[in-house]
Amino acid sequence: MSDSVRRHYEEYPYPRYPLLASVRRCDTFALSLEALWSRFNGTLTPSSHNRILIAGCGSFAPYPFSLANPDANITALDLSKRSLDRARWHCLLHGRRNISFRSGDLLNSGVAPGPFALIDAYGVLHHLDDPQVGLRALAERLDQGGIMRVMVYSRYARREEESIRRALRLLKVRDVATAKRLFARTRPGSRLHHFVTTSPEAGFAAGLADALLHPCVHTFRIDNLMELVDESGLQPLLFAHADAFENVHDEVDRIRRMEARQESPGNFVVFLGRGVSGPCQEMIGSLLVINPCLRDSIGPFRLSRPRIPARLGHPTPHLGWRERHFLRRFIRPVPWNTLTHESQIAADIYTKALFLLQYRP
C-alpha cells in the first residue's frame, strides 16, 4: 500500500467516533464468527478456528468485532499508527482485551500471517494501488472453510464523490481546511453545495478527507468485482448490500441491469469463502440455536423492544414480546425435527436473518 495512503490516515484517522461511544452486542450479530461459520459451513466453528483478522481496521472496527467474538483471537492490522492507537484506546475503555494490534502493510505476508477463520476487508481494497494483489494476499491467509467480508466502492454509487475528488486534485486541494474554504463559496443549488450540506461524511474532518481527499481510490462495476473475486480463487457466498438477492448469480444479474441504467444498489458488500461446506441442508437431524450476540436481547425481563439495524441488506425481523418468547426456546440447541410445521417456518425466517444458527451436530 502506498506511503501516501499511510500519511493520509496518520493525518485523518477514520472513522472519528467518540472514545466513549458504545455499541450494543445485538448490533454486532452479523460479525459473529460462530454465526457466519454455521451459515456458510453448516457446522459450529471448530475450536481450533478462532482467529479473526481485521485488515485495515481503522480506528473503531476492533471494538465491535471483539464484542461479537469475546472468545476469538483477533488481530487488528492497519498502516496508520494513529488509527491503531485510537482503536486500542477505544477497546481498553470498553473492556475489550482479546485483540492484538499490528502496524503494517497487508501485502506483507510476514505481517499478521494466517490462517484465519474470518477476515474483514471492509473499505480497504479500493484504496490499494492494485486491489487484485491485495485480495490475493488476504485470500492466502484464509483457512479452509474460512470466510471473508469485503466492501468496495461501486462505480455508480460513488460517482458524485469521485467527480468532486478528481476536481479537488486538479485544483491541488490536499487538506480539509482549504477544501472547506472552497466549499463555503459554493452557490446554493449547485451539486457541490448539495453534496457538502447533505453528506454525513462532509460534516467532520476525517469523513470529508476520506470521501473527497483520499490519494488512492478505485471504483468497481459488478463485473470488475466478480473478475477480482474469480482471480483470487475465492467463492462468492452472499451479497449483503441493500436489497440484495440471496442467490449470488441473481444478484449479479440484478446489478448488471441497474448499471445499464447507470444505477447502483450502493457500495458492494459481499461475503467470500475458501472451500466452505455450504449451509446445513439436512433439516432432519440438524440443530438450531440462538445467535450468541442476541442472547441478552431476548431475556424475559426485558421491557423494551430491541430494534436491531439491518446488517445483511434487509430489515431485521421484528422482536416484540411474542417473537422474543419464541427465540428463547433456542437458548440451548433444539432439534429441527421436534418443531411444529409453523415453528419450522418461523425458524427459517430467523435463520436467514442470522438470528438463529442451524448446523449439523
Residue 80: pLDDT over 80: yes
Which amino acid is present at 117? Answer: A
Instruction: Report the distance separating Cα 328 and Cα 24, nearest Å.
Output: 19
Residue 319: pLDDT over 80: yes
Among the CATH numbers 3.30.470.10, 3.40.718.10, 3.40.50.150, 3.30.2090.10, which is that of 3-17+27-155+217-273? 3.40.50.150
> What mean pLDDT is predicted for residues 240-267?
97
Which grid coordinates belong to 146? Answer: 474460512
Instruction: Report the distance separating Cα 201 and Cα 189, nearest Å.
Output: 19
pLDDT band at 304 (very low <50, low <70, confident <90, very high): confident
CB of 361 closer than 8 Å to CB of 287: yes
> What mean pLDDT is predicted for residues 309-328?
94
9-53, pLDDT tens digit by residue? Answer: 999 999 989 999 999 999 999 999 999 999 999 999 998 999 999
Instruction: Report the distance separating Cα 347 and Cα 355, nearest Å.
Output: 9
Which grid coordinates belong to 175? Answer: 487538506
Residue 302: pLDDT over 80: no
Per-residue confidence (pLDDT) for residue 197, from 0 to 100: 86
> What mean pLDDT is predicted for residues 204-223?
93
Alpha-carbon radius of gyration of the chain: 21
Give 337's contacts (C-beta < 8 A, 6+ positions apart). Answer: 283, 284, 285
**Edge-to-edge order in the sheet of strand 268-273:** 99-103, 73-78, 51-55, 116-122, 142-152, 268-273, 235-239
Share of the chain above pLDDT 90, in %: 83
Instruction: Report the distance separating Cα 343 and Cα 341, nearest Å.
Output: 5
**Strand pairing category for 142-152 and 99-103:** unpaired
